[in-house]
Amino acid sequence: MAPEREQIGALHLSQCCLKTGTSAPLEDVPVSVVPGDGSDPTEGVILGAADGVLQIQTFDALPIQRVTIVPDATGFFATAAARLSDMAARPEKYTLGPAERLVPWLDPDAPANDRQPTPVTLAAFQTIWAPTLTDRRAALATAATELARANKRLLLIARSHNAADEMTAVVGRVLRAAGMTYRSLLSRYELARASEIAGLPLRELGFEAQMHQFYAQSRADKAALRRKYERFRELSPILVYKADKQKDLDEVRLLEWRLLTEITSLQDKIKDIDTTVAEYEGLPLMKRLAMQAVGRNPDTLQEYRRVYAEQIDKLKAEVDVAQERIAELVPEAAVPKDMRPEFEELKEEIVKLGGTKKIRELLAAEEGTNRQAFIQNKRIVIATARRVTIDPLFARVRFDALLIDEATDIPSSYLLACAGIAREKIILAGDPERIPPAERWAALP
């Protein structure tokens, strides 16, 4: 698949055309992207797929060529299981008060009448049931606006990235109608699949774009390191390509040398024949008889000369082809005089820092500290339930309230993982006609 690229902040959004017959991986599953040129792979996250086009969030720009996507579903589910196990082993780290209100909805052993779609409004738990999606989201956005007005920090989760984008637009419009500065209050974690919905620039509301802009002045060293790293990754495939072309050029030049050597040898033979024919009449009789005994009389020598001349013509034709190919390869193999020293300098710095993998870890670690500080200053954060469950950032932060869009479509394990970081209140919205049996709710993909 050949990707199209777009950079948002420090992340890259790539769109890849899936091979016919290939099913798209689950959203938020981490993947490794292996370029077809043999350069270093990069890591990413699946944002979703539609009409055979897969959207991937990556840390490095993908090369414009065929790439191989390797999903890590095992790692995804292992991370989610580790998060839930940590909650069970160390409940003091999590705020489980509001989360316990979810038990009647999620516990397969709970009585059926405890899971009826009756509106509930309590200090710690509230349900919003409405027959239409528009009504449910409007009520949820209104609740989010009121909590934000009360200076509460909110986490709003959705079942998919498309749903999160749509919910971001709904909340943004309600905040704007209420006269609140939605651009500073609202953050879509991390990259939105859509660029805008209903006139709201979702990419500008993206967590990564906001954070990148906010910290632009304070992380000059990191930006410089990132530029060097990206330049190194940009030069690597170019120099690999140039090296391949130089190898081809050397082979063609070697072929040309062999052809010219053979032509020279044949020309020397023709020169010897011409000399022999010119001196033939003056040679001693015995020598002429000896030459005739081995078939080297004037007639046969002329025949040899003709054969050699034909061979020379064929070899010259091959030399012409080789020289044409050399003329094509010379500019393709040529490396600008400043490029190789620049690459060697970048490579030396990267080796000193421990290689490309270590640099990615350093950038991610430094960015993680900033991300935590930044997310704690956002009033409303919107993300997918899966992303919240597996992202280590959300294991370190807490929110005053958790709002759940279309909760009946989100697996119970993800709901519990998200509920564990809500300190005061949970607001659950959904379609009362779509509440699945507890056993199926727990087994949703």
227 vs 294: CA distance, rounded Å: 76
pLDDT per residue over 333-353, tens digit each? 888 888 888 888 888 888 887
HSE-CB at 230 with a 13 A cutoff on CA atoms is 16
How distant is the alpha carbon of residue 336 from its chain centre?
Answer: 29
- In the chain, % helix, strand, coil (3-state, to 5) comes to 55, 20, 25
pLDDT number for residue 112: 43
Q: Please determine, for residue 108, whether its predicted confidence score (pLDDT) is greater than 50.
A: no
pLDDT per residue over 424-438, tens digit each? 888 989 887 777 665
Decide yes or no: CATH 1.20.120 for domain 3-71.
Answer: no
Q: Is residue 159 within 8 Å of residue 409, measured between CB atoms?
A: yes
Q: What is the mean pLDDT of residues 409-419?
A: 86
Among candidate residues 71, 56, 82, 75, the one with its CA nearest the CA of residue 4: 56
Q: Dihedral sign, CA of 269, 275, 281, 287?
A: negative
Higher pLDDT, 294 or 32: 32
Q: For 206, which DSSP code?
A: B
How distant is the alpha carbon of residue 331 from its chain centre?
Answer: 32
Q: Which of 115-119, 145-149, 172-176 has the lowest mean pLDDT?
A: 115-119
188 vs 403: CA distance, rounded Å: 14
HSE-CB at 217 with a 13 A cutoff on CA atoms is 1
pLDDT number for residue 94: 64
HSE-CB at 22 with a 13 A cutoff on CA atoms is 18
Q: What is the pTM of this model?
A: 0.61
141 vs 251: CA distance, rounded Å: 68
Kindly list the domain boundaries of the chain, sorted by start residue: 3-71, 94-221+352-442, 223-347
Q: Given pLDDT bands bounded at 50, 70 and 90, which one contains residue 101?
A: low
Higher pLDDT, 429 or 275: 429
Q: Dihedral sign, CA of 72, 73, 79, 82?
A: negative
The tokens of 294 are what? 């081995």
- DSSP, residue by residue, 235-301: HHHHHHHHHHHHHHHHHHHHHHHHHHHHHHHHHHHHHHHHHHHHHGGGS-HHHHHHHHHTT-SHHHH
125 vs 423: CA distance, rounded Å: 11
Q: Is 14 helix (H, G, I), strand (E, B) or coil?
A: strand
For 94-221+352-442, CATH gives 3.40.50.300
Among all chains, which residue has been given the structure tokens 């919240």? 388
Q: Is residue 56 within 8 Å of residue 31, measured between CB atoms?
A: yes
Angle 43-49-51 from CA coordinates, rounded to 5°: 140
